Amino acid sequence: MVNKALIIGAGVAGIQASLDLADKGIEVYVVEKEPSIGGRMSQLDKTFPTNDCSICILAPKMADCFGHPNINVLTYSEVQDVAGKAGDFKVKVLKKARHVDEEKCTGCGDCMAKCPVKNIPNKFEMGLGTRRAIYLPFLQAVPRVATIDAEKCLYLTQGKCGNCAKICQRGAILYDQKDETVELNVGAIIIATGYDVWDPTPASEYGYGKYPNVYTAMEYERLICAAGPTQGHMERRSDQKRPQKIAFIQCVGSRNVQLEHPYCCSVCCMHSTKEAILAREHHDDIESFIFYKDLRTFGKGFNEYMERAKKDYGVVYTNSDATVQENPENHNPIVVYDVAGHPEKKEVDIVVLATTLIPRPETRKLAEKIGISMDKFGFLESVDKLLAPLDTRVPGIFLAGYCHEPMDIPEAVAQASGAAARAAEVMVVE
């Protein structure tokens, strides 16, 4: 019986589970694919229904997690294989080479200032911002260690440049670092790998990718975030003009059999409401229009949040799905919607698509390797939906968060604590 746990995925659910277990004295490994922990919550501007600054409430947990004496965080790493059984799992983890010494780097940023490879689309900023070949994914990244993108680095691909090694006062650059495989021995595993944002380009009726001023909701979060690529100034793609009319279209990809995601992604009625409220908080003259199939604001206080948006923030809700055209003269999107069976058009400045959230392909691969069942969309299934919702059919392996099923942050955190308790049972029970 090994008194250690592994958590795969360091978003808010993974971080919560790690803290719960570590505080109980159990040693925890956290394996995170990205160079920083934090996950999706670190990308959001504010969280509903409290409109808290997302990274402000997450970062202390990120710091606690990384600094906790019982937690070993392996970032830029991926689980390759799991063998064994509950109480005694042998896990192979690939630690990808970031070519920077994690012990020496202080995140001072000297290297990034000198890197000549610029304008690489930054995944954290959903492509709205850029980074360099050596980078920190975002300002509050934990660990605050630079990472070199081996495919873009001039030294690693062509033997040229070498600026970062020359400028680094700590000698932290390790061009020769190799990927490393480590083997972990743990008693229980929690999978908390979260979601991907679906790319709405194939649904050409929304014009995403064709019309410059059509955004996904996650792109919008980065656009209005004060720490985002435009410092919270909502400069739209076509002409950097600040929008005054914003249309939100719900259920883009979700609740849609044609586009093969018939499920409801559970959060976008609330997050579009939140985003509309935030727009008005930025500028008094912004009018927001939300086009919905149904308003699913079902949590405690959620309907009141939506009513506040209507009354106090002037958000206009229209019960209709919509498609998007464009005014070619000024790239203003035109929303076409249905009012009692008549098509109506509304010209706006930007359209925000509440795109569906989908399970990650990497999670699918992992689940197939480990033998965890998935539904046909790739969500990981529990062994008993009603009475053991966090247990997978592999004893000792548990679920938390969106990789399990669509849910919001409070539910993901609750599932994380639940999964931590289940994991602890495996190790503490004699």
Partner 1 sequence: MVTIDELIKDTGAYDCVECGKCTTVCPISNANPKFAPRLIVVKAMAGLEGLAQEPDIWTCTTCETCSDMCPYKVMYSEFIRGLRVEAVSLGVKPRCSQHGLMQNMMRMMTNPGIKQNRLKWVTPELKIADKGEVFYFTGCLPQMSIIFEDREGVNLLGIAQSAVKIFNRAGITPVVSNQEVCCGHDLNWAGDEKNVEKLMKINLDMIKNSGAKKVVFSCPECLRTFDVDYQDMAGDLDYEFMHISEFVADLIDEGKIAFNKLEEKVTYHDPCRLGRHLGIYDAPRDVLKATGADLIEMGRNMKKSACCGVSAWVSCESLTKKMQLERMVEAVGTGAKKLITACPKCQIHLRCAVSKEMPFEKEKADIPIQDFTIMVANSLK
Applying CB under 8 A, the residues found at the interface with partner 1 are: 204-205, 251, 255-259, 293-294, 320-323, 336-339, 341-343
DSSP per residue, 190-209: EE---EEE---TT-GGG-BT
Distance CA 8, CA 191 (A): 5
Shortest Å, Cβ 402 to partner 1:
22
Shortest Å, Cβ 349 to partner 1:
20
Residue 430: CA count within 13 A, CB half-sphere: 0
Q: Are 39 and 12 in contact (CB under 8 A)?
A: yes
Shortest Å, Cβ 320 to partner 1:
4
Question: With respect to partner 1, which residue has the nearer C-beta, 130 or 204?
Answer: 204
Question: With respect to partner 1, which residue has the nearer C-beta, 311 or 342?
Answer: 342
Question: With respect to partner 1, which residue has the nearer C-beta, 29 or 337?
Answer: 337
Other Cβ atoms closer than 10 A to 181: 11
Shortest Å, Cβ 292 to partner 1:
8
Please give the backbone phi and psi of residue 57, each rounded to the nearest 5 degrees, phi first. -90, -20
Residue with tokens 């990034």: 112
Q: Which two tokens stand for residue 56?
A: 């402000």
Residues 101/102/105/111 CA torsion (nearest 10 deg): 60
Question: With respect to partner 1, which residue has the nearer C-beta, 308 or 346?
Answer: 346
Shortest Å, Cβ 256 to partner 1:
4
Distance CA 317, CA 321 (A): 11
Question: With respect to partner 1, which residue has the nearer C-beta, 60 or 328?
Answer: 328
Shortest Å, Cβ 307 to partner 1:
22
Shortest Å, Cβ 321 to partner 1:
4
Shortest Å, Cβ 378 to partner 1:
20
Question: With respect to partner 1, which residue has the nearer C-beta, 28 or 269?
Answer: 269
Question: With respect to partner 1, which residue has the nearer C-beta, 45 or 326?
Answer: 326
Distance CA 186, CA 264 (A): 35
Q: Are 145 and 37 in contact (CB under 8 A)?
A: no
- Cβ-defined contacts of 209-214 (< 8 Å, 24+): 210/326, 211/324, 211/326, 211/331, 211/333, 211/351, 212/236, 212/237, 212/238, 212/331, 213/237, 213/238, 213/243, 213/331, 213/332, 213/333, 213/349, 213/350, 213/351, 214/324, 214/333, 214/350, 214/351, 214/353
Shortest Å, Cβ 72 to partner 1:
45
Question: With respect to partner 1, which residue has the nearer C-beta, 51 or 319?
Answer: 319
- Kind and range of the H or E run holding 313: helix 302-313
Question: With respect to partner 1, which residue has the nearer C-beta, 227 or 336?
Answer: 336
Q: Are 24 and 71 in contact (CB under 8 A)?
A: no
